């Protein structure tokens, strides 16, 4: 029995030795430790944020073209014919063909009760149309009102100068971070030297409502919410002047090393 415990004791002692050797050890007097800690780099992170507004000068309207038939081929053919008719109508109303794009296609079989073969096929295509003023928006809205297979899907507002706006927003965020850095140096009597930086979440975001357009439709998608329209003295309809505003937000974080002056 005594011999059984001897190997176990030796193994336990070895494990304890390994554990103790793995732990870091600092030696020296308190003054030496203080001097050592003083040499370690001290860092601080400063964040700058900015927001810039810009007028939205275009909107991308997504329409859903839905057709159904017992034959998948016929459903797809009918869908193609309707999309071709949409393109012809929009070009006749002044929209260039290159601003009308088919973006997504899907086909869904519909099954009857206890039937292995589909009783019909539903084909859907998303068509995205870029409009640059309210007149063009109205041309698209009339399609939804007049063609039973066409449904409103979404609308997204954009600014053509979004890249320029992004650069300005980032530059402003950096300026704000630098202003904070100078304030800390002045008030705390330290010197901050840039070490690293990173760009945080940023994006071009629309305001909740733009020029009277609603971003969501009713459940059926039938019909399009039109902008506020007023009557002029001559009796003609007057449309809002723009699609509204967009906000670009930028965040920049700069890491500085801290030194005493």
Who wins on pLDDT, 259 or 34? Answer: 259
* CATH of residue 190: 3.30.110.170
Q: Has residue 217 been placed in a domain?
A: no
Q: Do both 190 and 172 map to the same domain?
A: yes
- Round to whole Å and give the CA distance between 29 and 35: 10
Q: Has residue 91 been placed in a domain?
A: yes
Q: Do both 119 and 143 map to the same domain?
A: yes
Who wins on pLDDT, 131 or 134? Answer: 131
- Round to whole Å and give the CA distance between 160 and 129: 15
Residue 73 parent element (H or E): helix 72-92
Residue 107 is predicted with a pLDDT of: 81
Percent with pLDDT over 90 in the chain: 43
Q: Two tokens at 108?
A: 């869904």
The structural domain count of the chain equals 2
Q: Has residue 16 been placed in a domain?
A: no
Residue 230 is predicted with a pLDDT of: 35
Q: Do both 181 and 154 map to the same domain?
A: no
For residue range 221-255, list pLDDT tens digits in order: 554 444 333 333 343 344 344 577 888 899 999 99
Q: Which of 11-15, 31-35, 149-153 has the highest mean pLDDT?
A: 149-153
Residue 38 is predicted with a pLDDT of: 65
Q: Do both 127 and 166 map to the same domain?
A: no
Mean pLDDT, residues 16-30? 52
Query: 111 by DSSP, 3-state: which?
Result: coil
Q: Do both 65 and 134 map to the same domain?
A: yes
Last residue of a domain, one of 134, 158, 182: 158
Residue 5 is predicted with a pLDDT of: 47
For 19, counting Cβ atoms within 10 Å of its Cβ (0-12 exposed, 13-18 middle, 19+ buried), the class is exposed
Residue 220 has pLDDT above 70, yes or no: no
Q: Which of 24-38, 41-55, 225-239 has the highest mean pLDDT?
A: 41-55
CA separation, residue 12 to residues 15, 16, 24 (Å) = 5, 6, 21
Percent with pLDDT over 70 in the chain: 69
Last residue of a domain, one of 158, 178, 196: 158
Mean pLDDT, residues 125-140? 92
Q: 46-50, 133-137, 233-237 — which is least confidently predicted? A: 233-237
Who wins on pLDDT, 18 or 3? Answer: 3
Residue 108 is predicted with a pLDDT of: 82
Q: Do both 48 and 133 map to the same domain?
A: no
Q: 106-115, 138-147, 173-182 — which is least confidently predicted? A: 106-115
* CATH of residue 74: 3.30.70.2970
Q: Do both 48 and 103 map to the same domain?
A: no
Q: Do both 196 and 146 map to the same domain?
A: no
Q: Do both 260 and 170 map to the same domain?
A: yes
CA separation, residue 180 to residues 46, 63, 96, 150, 201 (Å) = 7, 48, 49, 54, 20
Q: Has residue 201 been placed in a domain?
A: yes
Q: Do both 177 and 65 map to the same domain?
A: no
Last residue of a domain, one of 93, 128, 158: 158
Residue 239 is predicted with a pLDDT of: 39
**Which structural domain, as residue segments, surrounds residue 131?**
58-158
Mean pLDDT, residues 120-141? 92
Average pLDDT, the chain: 77
Residue 37 is predicted with a pLDDT of: 57
For residue range 61-119, list pLDDT tens digits in order: 999 999 999 999 999 999 999 999 999 999 999 999 999 998 777 888 887 776 678 88
């Amino acid at each position: 029995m005594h011999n059984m415990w001897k190997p176990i004791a030796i193994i336990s002692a070895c494990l304890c030795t390994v554990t103790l050797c793995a732990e870091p050890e600092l030696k020296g007097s308190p003054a030496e430790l203080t001097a050592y800690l003083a040499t370690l780099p001290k860092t601080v992170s400063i964040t700058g944020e900015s927001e810039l507004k810009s007028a939205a000068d275009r909107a991308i309207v997504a329409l859903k073209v839905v057709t159904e038939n017992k034959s998948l081929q016929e459903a797809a053919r009918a869908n193609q014919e309707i999309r071709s008719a949409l393109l012809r109508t929009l070009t006749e109303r002044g929209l260039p063909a290159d601003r009308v794009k088919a973006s997504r296609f899907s086909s869904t079989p519909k099954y009857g009760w206890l039937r292995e073969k589909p009783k019909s096929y539903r084909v859907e295509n998303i068509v995205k149309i870029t409009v640059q003023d309210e007149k063009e928006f109205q041309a698209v809205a009339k399609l939804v009102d007049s063609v039973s297979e066409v449904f409103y899907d979404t609308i997204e507002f954009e600014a053509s100068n979004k890249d320029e706006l992004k650069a300005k927003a980032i530059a402003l965020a950096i300026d704000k971070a630098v202003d904070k850095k100078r304030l800390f140096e002045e008030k705390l009597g330290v010197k901050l030297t840039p070490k690293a930086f990173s760009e945080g979440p940023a994006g071009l975001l629309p305001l909740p409502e733009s020029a009277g357009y609603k971003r969501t439709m009713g459940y059926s998608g039938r019909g399009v919410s039109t902008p506020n329209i007023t009557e002029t003295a001559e009796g003609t309809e007057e449309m809002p002047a723009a699609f509204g505003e967009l906000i670009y937000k930028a965040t920049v974080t700069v890491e500085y090393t801290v030194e005493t002056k």
